[in-house]
Amino acid sequence: MQKVRRHEQNKAAVVGEYGAMIQLDHPSSVAKSPSDPALVADLIAIFRATQPEVVYTHNLADKHETHIGVAIAVVQALRLLSPEWRPQALYGCEVWRNLDWMLDEDKTVFDVSARENVVMALMGVFDSQISGGKRYDLATAGRKRSNATYLASHASDRARMLEYAMDLTPLIENPGVEIAGYVRSFIDRFSEDVGERIVRRLGR
């Protein structure tokens, strides 16, 4: 299966016309480990070699433990770079948990309508997962379409497909910011908003 997944990733790179494809081949246990430095070390080397202006990773409210591990490793690696080597922006995107729950003013919204064909083509490459019973191809496109419709309740759709992201840039601009606390701040604002709407309706 590992060989198949590597092959599919390489096919995706061709379909998506990637500038480069780097497969580190670390097991999930390394990504989830709080003490194994291997993934962070590799990411530091990659960031130094590529010097990206923008980095996209998983969002830190994802419910997939490996995804969270990768996102944290990305933050840790970027924090260990000298400030001049850090990207201008870091975004945590939707994967196993969407970001519809975030307040609209907290969301970073990307209009990906113009690349709908690429989304479908890329997801279709991963047949080993789709044929195994997980319709990532339909679900991924459906989520983006849903985002476009449900973003604004009293306005016509302004796009066909939207991707939501959590702006993680402050975590690399100020390495002193506590990661869990930063994510909780979004959750706390969501909780307050829900409570305020209910209390307002109850007239309290």
Q: What are the tokens at 202?
A: 């109850």
* Binned average pLDDT, 10 residues per bin, the chain of 204 residues: 86 92 93 96 97 98 97 98 96 95 97 89 87 88 95 90 97 97 98 97 90
Assigned CATH for 2-184: 3.40.50.10320
Residue 92, beta-bridge partner list: 57, 166
Which pLDDT belongs to residue 130? 85
Handedness of CA 132, 146, 11, 70 (dihedral sign): negative
Which pLDDT belongs to residue 1? 64
Which pLDDT belongs to residue 62? 97
Q: What does the DSSP 8-state code read for residue 83?
A: G
Which stretches of 2-152 are DSSP H helices?
A: 2-15, 28-32, 38-50, 65-79, 116-125, 127-130, 136-150
Query: In terms of Cα–Cα distance, which of 46, 49, 40 is closest to 80?
Result: 40
- Structural domain boundaries of the chain? 2-184
Which pLDDT belongs to residue 82? 95
